[in-house]
Structure 1
Amino acid sequence: MRYLTGLLCGVFLLSGVACADEAPPLPKLKLDPAKVAVAGLSSGAYMATQMQLAYPELFPSAALVAGGPFGCAAGRLDLALSTCMKGVPAPDAAALAAKAKQRAASGDIGALKGLAHGQVYLLHGKDDAVVAPVVAETTARFYEQLRDSEPALKSLKVTDDGGRVFAHNLPIAATGDDCDKSVSPYLGHCGFDAAGEIFRQMFGKPARDASAPKGELRRFNQDAYRPGGADAFLAPTGYVYLPPDCAARKRCGLMVAFHGCKQNADAVGEAFVNDAGFNRWADVYDVVVLYPQTRASTAPMNPQACWDWWGYSGDNYDSRQGVQTRWVVDAVKALGLP
């Protein structure tokens, strides 16, 4: 059996497909729980807000690019495709905030007081034809509703950066002709360094400018962190970026970066994990970047390898019991988050 497994892995490698058996587990690092954030594009933005609301004690800060408010889809794909993407009708921020408070009170998601000193940065382009600007604007109203209705959250900072002109993509510092398009690998050459602004919003003013990354991008076995052995509908292999000082056991921060639909490694190779711009800023801020990877499937129906923000992994997908939310918690704990 070991011979056959090795032979199959060899075939996969020749064809450019990753084999989980070749990837090691995550390294055990020294991570600072006071310097942690989640970020994501599109379905990855929805996943980031789900992680923040489900586990605010771990992820008090979030950067959301072209994403909508927590709980928007309510487990319904039709609602996800209409209200939560096209904004027809627009999501009801007040109702969603009230529902989130109810779910927090029941323990379905985390205690909202965990967001007290967090940061929320919302970036969305005026030319986004995939997730309508009104949806992202509702996300800002959702967080403002939570902040203004909960005395414990008066220090929660919400920044709505919606005045920039770009399409449904993650803007990068380089310039080109695709900023107004939504085309693979969904990194728009806009002359705006979204990754740098995300780091600044999450962790403060940088000590210096970023240069080419000098750390190490490692692959790791994602199947090792299946919660209770359950399938989280992820790819066999994920990525983690270690700045030089973090690999040398310095106490470092952590950012979990969620790709968008059709932006996983099976679809775009290492474009997102190498070229989005996070790694060079990770060196500046001494922040490890975890890049989990989804997989496409027909059963459940997820052909574009989106993160689960409408319920394909189960009814509890956006709660503390969701299989993907629990996978992320298991992975960051394995990485060294207390």
Structure 2
Amino acid sequence: MKRHSSKPVAVLALLALATPLLGGCGTQAAESALPALNLDPERVSVVGLSSGAAMAQQAHFAWSDRLIGAGLIAGPPYGCAEGDLGTALGRCMKGEPDAPDPVRLAERARELAESGRIAPLSGLDGDRVYVLHGKADSTVAAGVTRASYSIYEALAREVASPPVQLETMVWDAERDIAHAWPTLDQGGTCNVTEAPFIGACDFDASGEMLAALYGPAPAAATAVVGKVHTFDQNAYRSEGTDAFLAQEGFLYVPEQCAAGKPCGAVIAFHGCEQNAAMLGDRFIVGNGLNRWADAYDLVVVYPQTRASFMPLNPKACWDWWGYSGPDYDTRDGVQMRWLANLTAALGIPLQP
């Protein structure tokens, strides 16, 4: 159960998001155990950029009965790639030869829900969704990101029976933003796609996203005063199976959460070429989530992928086309099972 707050090589071109050492932000060597926290399993959401947005939406559909919503920036819609790399590179990034069909994808989601491979569609009732696409984004076509929004519309109008009743849906596509996570003043040029794929856009996407997911902030977002912990990601492999992740993940904990105050959680998925091995801590400290996490009483989980050539994933993308196996976008996927193990260890279980 959950509750809501009261207010609402072509392969090398794959997900062309943009190696310094990890430093700053209070990080340290991987800790032997996650910190003891008092987390509220009814205040958990998922967010992400590009392949991270795809992963966030996959998690949302898999566990909509446990999550309150998803924040998606410039990502393809759920199930778009259909396990095929060519489809991922064409239809699901460039909208070629045609754009993704959200109604057909919603119908597949209904079938997966009926088979128990993702949550029942009724789990989406009352959820909140925030989707952002920049007008200067030439990496993922606007129609592709729009489909990640429209799949929810299809479930609310014509595919699900009874129709899904989302509480909040936000579609923002009017800003001159490239393929990046927009911030007030962190990162590179707003309308240029380049590492670290964080843009100084005079627009606080993290604040807008969390307001859509959790309602108005109960406090002002000022300086970041919490701590970033590192943890051993291999400890949460499902039956020891490799999930194609880095050894270390990261967890931002506000001071009040560390002191025992009940807190929610945001799981934030980086984009391709945006993991710590490639960018150090720039995504972890630069996207603005930590500052807002202090205001909303939220911890932020930053899981990390790793680059590989077997399977072929040189840019360390999250699996949204099937490199980890055919069940990648269901509860049975190896990365999804890993995520369920991690959240269970944090006290915010996704699995029933």
| Aligned mates of 1:176, 1:25 — CA distance in 2 | 32
Aligned to 2:215: 204
| Aligned mates of 1:293, 1:204 — CA distance in 2 | 28
Structure 2 length normalisation: TM-score?
0.88
Aligned to 1:10: none
Aligned to 1:112: 121
Q: How far apart are residue 198 of structure 1 and its match?
A: 1.1
Q: How far apart are residue 152 of structure 1 and its match?
A: 5.2
Aligned to 2:327: 316
Q: How far apart are residue 265 of structure 1 and its match?
A: 0.1
Q: Which amino acid aligns with 2:109?
A: A
Aligned to 1:58: 66
| Aligned mates of 1:208, 1:331 — CA distance in 2 | 29
Q: Which amino acid aligns with 1:148?
A: R
Aligned to 2:44: 36
Q: How far apart are residue 27 of structure 1 and its match?
A: 2.1
Quick check: 2:71–2:129 contact (8 Å CA) kept in 1? yes
Q: Which amino acid aligns with 2:256?
A: D
| Aligned mates of 1:307, 1:236 — CA distance in 2 | 15
* Greater helix share, structure number: 1
Aligned to 1:140: 149
Structure 1 length normalisation: TM-score?
0.92
| Aligned mates of 2:253, 2:240 — CA distance in 1 | 27
Q: How far apart are residue 154 of structure 1 and its match?
A: 2.1
Q: Which amino acid aligns with 1:308?
A: D
Q: How far apart are residue 24 of structure 1 and its match?
A: 2.4
Quick check: 1:264–1:293 contact (8 Å CA) kept in 2? yes
In the TM superposition, what are the counterparts of 1:276-291 in structure 2 within 5 Å? Answer: 276-291=287-302
Aligned to 2:99: 90
Deviations 1:87-139 (A, max 9, x none): 11100111111111011001121111111011010011011100111111112
Aligned to 2:265: 254
In the TM superposition, what are the counterparts of 1:218-233 in structure 2 within 5 Å? Answer: 218-233=229-244
Quick check: 2:131–2:172 contact (8 Å CA) kept in 1? yes
The match for 2:197 among 177, 186, 199 is: 186
Quick check: 1:147–1:156 contact (8 Å CA) kept in 2? no
CA shift in 2, pair 1:177/1:277, >3 Å: closer
Q: Which amino acid aligns with 2:122?
A: K
Quick check: 1:255–1:288 contact (8 Å CA) kept in 2? yes
Point out where structure 1 has 5 or more consecutive residues left out of the alignment. Answer: 1-14
Aligned to 1:306: 317
Quick check: 2:43–2:67 contact (8 Å CA) kept in 1? no
CA shift in 2, pair 1:262/1:177, >3 Å: closer
In the TM superposition, what are the counterparts of 1:122-133 in structure 2 within 5 Å? Answer: 122-133=131-142
| Aligned mates of 1:181, 1:16 — CA distance in 2 | 24
Quick check: 2:29–2:230 contact (8 Å CA) kept in 1? no
Q: Which amino acid aligns with 2:267?
A: V
Aligned to 2:56: 48
Aligned to 1:174: 185
Correspondence 1:217 to 2:228? yes
Length, aligned pairs only: 323
Q: How far apart are residue 177 of structure 1 and its match?
A: 5.9
Deviations 1:262-317 (A, max 9, x none): 00000000000111100010000000100000000010000000000000000000
Aligned to 1:336: 347
**SS of the counterpart of 1:153?**
coil
Aligned to 1:74: 82
| Aligned mates of 1:175, 1:272 — CA distance in 2 | 10
Q: How far apart are residue 199 of structure 1 and its match?
A: 1.0
Task: State the Cα RMSD in Å.
Answer: 1.7
CA shift in 2, pair 1:91/1:21, >3 Å: same
Point out where structure 2 has 5 or more consecutive residues left out of the alignment. Answer: 1-19
Q: Which amino acid aligns with 2:34?
A: L
| Aligned mates of 2:108, 2:175 — CA distance in 1 | 31
Q: How far apart are residue 61 of structure 1 and its match?
A: 0.3
